């Protein structure tokens, strides 16, 4: 079945410039070259994309028209409407209308004509305006009156719509205090427009009532375009030259009459919408190399912006281009860099915890989002990754990070990239459930009968295993003979605890895995039944052949987990150990639920595998994940200034380091 798709007209180069704001089942999309649109979910596989059917406003500067790339104010130019209501002809004393061509020009734009009119119904002042339906020539247009005009005579009180194919469209959007907010067009780069309260698609200014739309220009010494706009206690706008706060002067909700704008900080921003962690905003500073934390500081009675990359300036590479915030299970800000890596910042403000790490892959991360998982209690991180196949062909994949919570079972560990899983037990459960019955629980010629056609002659040599609810083995046999697609014979290796198992309680092992076409020609690492199936395999024809037969196989691109400690400051008899030769003699680790076969060394080129095996582990089975102390690891490093510990794990298994303890000699001379 084909993926459900909805077409749009944004080009590839425009996709990353879209900003969005969601309310209920609707996402409003803003892009400077397209009218604001709304993406509406009707059902999972039924979405619509339409231009926002604005009811009115906003309007450009009075009497302003575009001449070339400049704005002219034709203060003496008049517009005469043929009537104050209905379909009218607008006659201008100057060439002010732009006809349809490659774009709609002024067609479908709102124009303010005349002054406000007091409504006989509401008693409120309402701005008269029209919607142009056709442009006859540069001085004549046909329009529909949307709100009754104050006059059918010539008037110099007119303004064209602020958003159009002539003047461009707003590029930023958000919601704030029950208003839809747009900001920044090409010709009004510092403007912010807020809709009427609860009327998200009405930007008419009318008489300035409290719930009327709001039109604000950020006044500053520089003309810096707004890069993003986000809602907090106040409305915050990031421009290339600084960060502005838009709020009411008296602390009450924003109205057309009480709007107060102030420039709080002057770091400047890039056009990546900030992420909010608690009451703190995280945004990318101008030039993309820094993430700053923006928050209100009571001591200063002002907003404060703190550089969160100051201790790790390298972490941004050539710059950040996208961000996502994963709240659960750990509070982590994921920042994609232009080099295709991800820099993660774990941030717990209340605990004063902050830690950066870099995520790399064989390929380039390009985009990222975080959404709640439907099946597990954490937020999922999804990415677009560009990968290069063995043939040299480039592909972009949608991939999802697994949960950082280490699974209870080692055979459920998933530490590969772009990976897929074969689960023999799932295969017997879905889409069709197969039940097997055994002629005996033990013996060398046990007959296995399936409720449906499941077996093939190639299954000879494979194993059938039954498991309990925890996934532990409760019986296993090796298939020795094929009778039919529903009957095989096997020799029991581990006695079964029953003679019948339903789908999901048993599985048939495999020695080849297919479905890896997306990694064609690439080397993959395989974790099979909790152990490594060495050596790594190269995908050919979308498949790999395994060294043995297994029930749970995870295959994907390998990646190496790396830690490098800071140079040791252990002190010495004569004060500091800085600038003195050191040597680490021995290491110890405290680990939690960890693979113990990782590597340590004094440099990246002198790593040795930690040899630690629990004596209780059965021979021929993979070592279980370990929690506890790994003591007294010899550390074959030489004397050096600023001794460090390198820890690397190339295996597709987890390591959680609680602490690293070492003994170190410092040469005090």
Q: Binding to another protein (CB under 8 A): which residues in 640-659? A: 649, 652-658
Scanning residues 590 to 619, which ones bind another protein (CB under 8 A)? 592
What is the DSSP pairing of strand 500-501 with strand 510-513? Answer: unpaired
Per CB under 8 A, 420 contacts another protein:
yes
Q: Is 516 buried (19+), middle (13-18) or exposed (0-12) by CB count in 10 A?
A: buried
Candidates 401, 501, 626, 662; binder of another protein (CB under 8 A) is: 401
Q: Does 523 bind another protein (CB under 8 A)?
A: no
Phi, psi of 452 (to 5 degrees): -150, 170
Here's the x/- map for another protein, 142-171, by CB under 8 A: it reads as: ------------------------------
Residue pair 559/361 in contact by the 8 Å Cβ criterion? yes
Binding of another protein at residue 556 (CB under 8 A)?
yes
Q: How far is the CB of 645 from another protein (least distance, A)?
A: 12
d(CA 90, CA 81): 5
Distance CA(51)–CA(525), nearest Å, equals: 48
Q: How far is the CB of 344 from another protein (least distance, A)?
A: 6
Q: Which of residues 82-111 bind another protein (CB under 8 A)?
A: none
In the complex, least distance from residue 277 CB atom to another protein, rounded to whole angstroms = 12
CA–CA separation, 125 and 119 (whole Å): 6
DSSP label of 313:
G
User: Rounded to whole angstroms, how far apart are CA atoms 232 and 214?
Assistant: 18
State which residue, 345 or 477, has the beta carbon closest to another protein.
345
CA geometry: angle 389, 392, 394, nearest 5 deg? 65
- Select the residue interacting with another protein from 51, 318, 468, 517 (CB under 8 A): 517
Shortest distance, position 367 Cβ to another protein, whole Å: 4
Rounded to the nearest 10 degrees, how much is the dihedral formed by the CA atoms of 421, 427, 429, 430?
80
Find the Cα–Cα–Cα–Cα dihedral 614, 616, 622, 624, rounded to 10°. Answer: -70
- Please select the residue that binds another protein; options are 302, 371, 498, 629, rule is CB under 8 A: 371
Q: Is 403 in the site for another protein (CB under 8 A)?
A: yes
Count, residues near another protein per rule CB under 8 A: 100
Q: Are 383 and 401 in contact (CB under 8 A)?
A: yes
Q: Which of 562, 583, 609, 640 binds another protein (CB under 8 A)?
A: 562
Q: In DSSP terms, which residues pair with 202 in a beta bridge?
A: 56
Please select the residue that binds another protein; options are 93, 95, 119, 421, rule is CB under 8 A: 421
- Binding part of the chain for another protein, among 78-86, 244-252, 298-306, 417-425 by CB under 8 A, reads 417-425
Kind of pairing, strands 275-277 and 280-284?
antiparallel
User: What mask, x for binding another protein by CB under 8 A, covers residues 4 to 23?
Assistant: xxxxxxxxxx-xx-x-x-x-
Q: Considering the complex, state which of residue 42 and residue 616 has its C-beta at the smaller distance from another protein.
A: 42
Smallest distance, Å, CB 312 to another protein?
A: 11
Closest distance of CB 359 from another protein, Å: 6
If you count them, how many residues does the chain have?
669
Does the footprint of another protein cover residue 369 (CB under 8 A)?
yes
- Residues 25-64 binding another protein (CB under 8 A) are 25, 27, 39, 41, 44-45, 47, 49
Question: What string marks each residue from 288 to 327 as x (binds another protein by CB under 8 A) or -?
Answer: ----------------------------------x-x---
What is the torsional sign of CA 76, 77, 83, 86? negative
Q: Does 450 bind another protein (CB under 8 A)?
A: no
If the CB atoms of residues 413 and 464 are measured against another protein, the closer one turns out to be: 413
What's the Cα-to-Cα distance from 370 to each of 309, 325, 363, 416, 530, rounded to whole Å? Answer: 22, 6, 20, 20, 29
Report the C-alpha gap between 262 and 218 in whole angstroms.
Answer: 8
Phi, psi (deg, nearest 5) at residue 13: -75, -15
Q: What is the C-alpha separation between 616 and 626, in angstroms, rounded? A: 12
The least CB distance from residue 333 to another protein, in Å, is: 11
By CB under 8 A, what part of segment 564-583 binds another protein? Answer: none
The least distance separating another protein from the CB of residue 184, rounded to whole angstroms, comes to 19
Q: Which helix (H) or strand (E) covers residue 12, if one does?
A: helix 12-15
Tell me if 278 contacts another protein by CB under 8 A: no
**113 vs 647 by CB, closer to another protein:** 647
Integer Cα distance of 178 and 175 in angstroms: 7
The residues in 327-366 that bind another protein, with binding defined as CB under 8 A, are 330-332, 344, 346, 348, 351, 353, 355-357, 359, 361, 366
| Closest CB to another protein among residues 65, 557 | 557
- Of the candidates 217, 256, 254, 259, the one whose C-alpha atom is nearest the C-alpha of residue 116 is 256
Q: Which is nearer to another protein, 47 or 296 (CB)?
A: 47
Is residue 406 near another protein by the rule CB under 8 A? yes
Q: Buried b vs exposed e over 580-592: b needs ≥16 C-beta within 10 Å?
A: bbbbbeebebbbe
Q: How far is the CB of 472 from another protein (least distance, A)?
A: 24
Contact 269, 283 (CB under 8 A): yes
Tell whether residue 661 is a contact of another protein (CB under 8 A): no
And the tokens for 440?
């005996």
Q: Is 480 in the site for another protein (CB under 8 A)?
A: no
Closest distance to another protein from the beta carbon of 364 (Å)? 10
145 or 180: CB nearest another protein? 180
């Amino acid at each position: 079945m084909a993926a459900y798709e909805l077409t749009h007209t944004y080009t590839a180069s425009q996709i990353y410039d879209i900003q969005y704001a969601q309310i209920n089942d609707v996402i409003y999309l803003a892009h400077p070259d397209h009218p604001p649109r709304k993406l509406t979910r009707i059902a999972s596989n039924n979405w619509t994309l339409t231009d926002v059917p604005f009811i009115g406003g906003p309007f450009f500067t009075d009497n302003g028209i575009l001449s070339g790339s400049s704005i002219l104010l034709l203060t003496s130019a008049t517009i005469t409407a043929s009537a104050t209501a209905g379909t009218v002809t607008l006659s201008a004393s100057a060439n002010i209308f732009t006809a349809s061509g490659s774009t709609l020009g002024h067609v479908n734009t709102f124009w303010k004509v005349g002054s406000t009119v007091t409504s006989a119904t509401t008693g409120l002042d309402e701005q008269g305006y029209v919607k142009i339906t056709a442009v006859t020539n540069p001085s004549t247009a046909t329009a529909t009156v949307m709100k009754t005009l104050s006059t059918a005579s010539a008037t110099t009180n007119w303004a064209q719509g602020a958003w159009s194919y002539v003047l461009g469209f707003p590029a930023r959007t958000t919601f704030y205090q029950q208003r839809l907010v747009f900001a920044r067009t090409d010709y009004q780069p510092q403007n912010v427009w807020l809709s009427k309260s609860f009327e998200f698609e009405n930007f008419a200014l009318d008489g300035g009532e409290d719930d009327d739309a709001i039109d604000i220009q950020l006044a500053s010494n520089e003309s810096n375009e707004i890069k993003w706009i986000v809602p907090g206690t106040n409305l915050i706008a990031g421009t290339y030259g600084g960060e502005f706060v838009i709020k009411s002067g008296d602390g009450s909700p924003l109205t057309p009459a009480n709007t107060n704008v102030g420039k709080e900080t002057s770091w400047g921003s890039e056009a990546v919408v900030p992420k909010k962690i608690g009451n703190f905003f995280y945004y990318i500073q101008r030039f993309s190399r820094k993430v700053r934390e923006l928050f209100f500081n009571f001591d200063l009675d002002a907003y404060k912006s703190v550089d969160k990359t100051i201790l790790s300036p390298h972490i941004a590479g050539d710059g950040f281009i996208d961000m996502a915030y994963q709240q659960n299970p750990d509070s982590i800000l994921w920042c994609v860099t232009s080099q295709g890596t991800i820099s993660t910042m774990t941030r717990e403000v209340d605990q004063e915890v902050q830690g950066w790490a870099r995520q790399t892959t064989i390929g380039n991360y390009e985009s990222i989002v975080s959404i709640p998982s439907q099946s597990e209690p954490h937020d999922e991180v999804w990415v677009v990754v560009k990968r290069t196949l063995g043939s040299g062909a480039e592909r972009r994949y949608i991939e999802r990070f697994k949960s950082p919570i280490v699974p209870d079972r080692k055979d459920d560990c998933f530490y590969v990239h772009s990976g897929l899983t074969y689960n023999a037990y799932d295969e017997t459960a879905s889409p069709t459930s197969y039940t097997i019955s055994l002629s005996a629980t033990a013996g060398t010629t046990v007959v296995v009968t399936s409720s449906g056609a499941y077996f093939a002659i190639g299954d000879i040599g494979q194993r059938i295993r039954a498991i309990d609810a925890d996934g532990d083995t409760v019986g296993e046999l090796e298939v020795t003979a094929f009778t039919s697609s529903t009957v095989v014979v096997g020799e029991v290796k581990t006695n079964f605890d029953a003679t019948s198992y339903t789908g999901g309680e048993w599985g048939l092992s495999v020695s080849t895995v297919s479905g890896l076409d997306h990694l064609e020609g690439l080397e993959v690492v395989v974790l099979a039944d909790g152990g490594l199936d060495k050596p790594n395999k190269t995908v050919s024809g979308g498949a790999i052949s395994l060294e043995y037969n297994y029930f749970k196989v995870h295959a994907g691109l390998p990646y190496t987990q790396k830690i490098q400690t800071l140079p040791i400051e252990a002190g010495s008899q004569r004060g500091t150990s800085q600038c003195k030769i050191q040597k680490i003699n021995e290491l110890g680790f405290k680990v939690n639920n960890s693979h113990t076969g990782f590597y340590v060394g004094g440099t990246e080129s002198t790593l040795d595998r930690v040899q630690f095996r629990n004596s209780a582990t059965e021979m021929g089975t993979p070592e279980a994940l370990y929690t506890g102390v790994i003591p007294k690891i010899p550390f074959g490093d030489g004397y050096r200034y600023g001794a460090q510990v390198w820890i690397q794990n190339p295996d597709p298994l987890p390591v959680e380091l609680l602490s690293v303890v070492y003994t170190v000699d410092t040469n005090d001379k």
